[in-house]
Amino acid sequence: MKNYDWIIIGGGITGSALAYELSKKKFSVLLLEKDAIANNATLYSYGGLAYWSGTTDETRQLGAEGIELHRHLSEELDGDTEFRELDLLLTINQEDNPQEIAQDYDRFAITPQLLDIKQACELEPLLNPDAIAGALRLPHGQIDPQKTTQAYQVAFRRHGGVIKYESVIDLIRQGDTIQGVITKQNTYQSANTVVAAGGLTRSLLQGRGISVKTYFTHAQLIKTAPVDFELKTIVMPAVQQRFALEATASDLESRSAWEQPEPTIVKSILDPGVVQFRDRSLCIGQISAIATEPKTNFDLALAESQIRHQIAPILPKISEIPGTCHHCLVAFSDRGIADVGAVESLRGLYLFTGFTSTLVFAPAIAKRFANQTIENL
């Protein structure tokens, strides 16, 4: 049986970027993905590259590395990631004070330009001037996350990487060393195993008796077919409730709620926003909820009407576009910008998940991870 240098569990953007970077360094790598047709956070993502969002020297450097990487990624992978640079427009609610909201953004690597209502509507004519007190403008980037993931996978295969569509159900464990994985069909051995299984990382490891502090939200969003008009920007709210929701994860941790058989459900939040992709299709979102059971069912018809109701005052035209509401899990960490590195007290097992601003940080960290691995040899 072949013994791989690395097995990566999860073929979303994080696992695919890491598999590619390791294969580029001539390691033998097996990427295991459970779904032959993607149905994950990467597929439903806005694709935004928040390279401005670093708040420390380290994350500012990573933001700069990330956007530079994306500027050349299509060429490097020989596959179109649909990268483009465009403005992010953060709408300020009527009841909020624009100057105070702008001050909250002073901590970021790039600070926004504060626009009054007229300037905001000149930049994004679909905005309803009666619904906002102004907006913040930031330089942003966008990729098509699914096409980028596919481009990573094609380039990975070109470097000799192997992709198999099999669900990992167990780890091969010898004492405190992980020596590979077991899928429904096969057993695969490896010197190193990385879990990049997004929102399912926690349950996969918990089921094997390995406790990690990686969390997930349940996201709900509407995807549309291509439309006959063009958005000039990515529109999101300046005050996002998602971050406050994520902060409740550690409260649940302290009550051991993530380990309980009975799921705990925390109230959902809705951050109204919209992005358009190069084919002119839209993604309108987004509801985020914390429920400790990954398989929790959400009423997607209700979610769709709630999203439409909240987007209607800000972007009336968008709220009427027909579309389909989807659900996915989005991993996050409350310990810095990601859960990356060796799993404590085990040899041969690593995490690569839970990223903040995943699309800009994860590709850059994947490159660093592969470089570091070579240096450590």
Ligand X SMILES: Cc1cc2nc3c(=O)[nH]c(=O)nc-3n(C[C@H](O)[C@H](O)[C@H](O)COP(=O)(O)OP(=O)(O)OC[C@H]3O[C@@H](n4cnc5c(N)ncnc54)[C@H](O)[C@@H]3O)c2cc1C
Min CB(369)–ligand X separation in Å: 14
Interface with ligand X (CB under 6 A), residue from 4, 6, 20, 46: 46
Site for ligand X in 273-312 (CB under 6 A): 285-286
- 6 near ligand X (CB under 6 A): no
Region binding ligand X by CB under 6 A among candidate stretches 42-50, 56-64, 89-97, 151-159: 42-50
Element of type H or E holding 24:
helix 13-24
Task: Kindly write out the interface string for residues 153-172 of this chain, putting x where it contacts ligand X by CB under 6 A and - elsewhere.
Answer: --------------xx----
Rounding to the nearest 10 degrees, give the CA dihedral for residues 311, 316, 322, 323.
Answer: -20
Cα–Cα distances (Å) from 220 to 1, 4, 38, 324, 328, in that order, read 42, 37, 16, 10, 7
Do β-strands 29-32 and 3-9 pair in parallel, antiparallel, or remain unpaired? parallel
Report the site for ligand X in 309-368 (rule: CB under 6 A).
328, 330-331, 353, 355, 357-360
CB 128 within 8 A of CB 313: yes
Q: Could you tell me the smallest distance in angstroms from the CB atom of residue 327 to ligand X?
A: 9
Evaluate whether 89 touches 233 at the Cβ level (below 8 Å): yes
Q: How many residues bind ligand X (CB under 6 A)?
A: 42
For ligand X, which stretch binds (CB under 6 A), given 35-43, 106-114, 184-192, 242-250? 35-43
Give the nearer residue to ligand X in terms of CB position, either 32 or 117.
32
* CB closer to ligand X, 35 vs 78: 35
35 sits near ligand X (criterion: CB under 6 A): yes
Indicate the burial class of 81 (C-beta count within 10 angstroms; 0-12, 13-18, 19 or more). buried
CB-based contact 361:340 (threshold 8 Å):
no
Tell me which of 22, 155, 197, 303 binds ligand X, using CB under 6 A: 197
- Pick from 22, 89, 200, 337: which binds ligand X (CB under 6 A)? 200
Dist CA 58 CA 339 (whole Å)? 15
Point out which span in 64-72, 96-104, 107-115, 199-207 binds ligand X (CB under 6 A). 199-207
- Candidates 77-85, 193-201, 293-301, 303-311 — which segment interacts with ligand X by CB under 6 A? 193-201
β-pairing, 349-353 vs 187-195, is: parallel
- Minimum gap (Å) between residue 339 Cβ and ligand X: 10
Shorter beta-carbon distance to ligand X: residue 133 or 300? 300
Integer Cα distance of 223 and 310 in angstroms:
16
Please, which of residues 205-264 interact with ligand X by CB under 6 A? Answer: 219, 221
Helix (H) or strand (E) holding 370: helix 358-375
Cα 325 to its chain centre, rounded Å, is 18
What are the Cα distances from residue 170, in Å, to 9, 166, 178, 358? 11, 12, 10, 26
Ramachandran region, residue 293 (left: φ > 0; alpha: ψ -120 to 50; beta: rest):
beta
Site membership for ligand X, residue 53 (CB under 6 A): no
Cβ distance to ligand X smaller for residue 27 or 355: 355
Chain residues that interact with ligand X, rule: CB under 6 A: 9-15, 32-35, 38, 40-42, 44-48, 145, 167-168, 196-200, 204, 219, 221, 285-286, 328, 330-331, 353, 355, 357-360
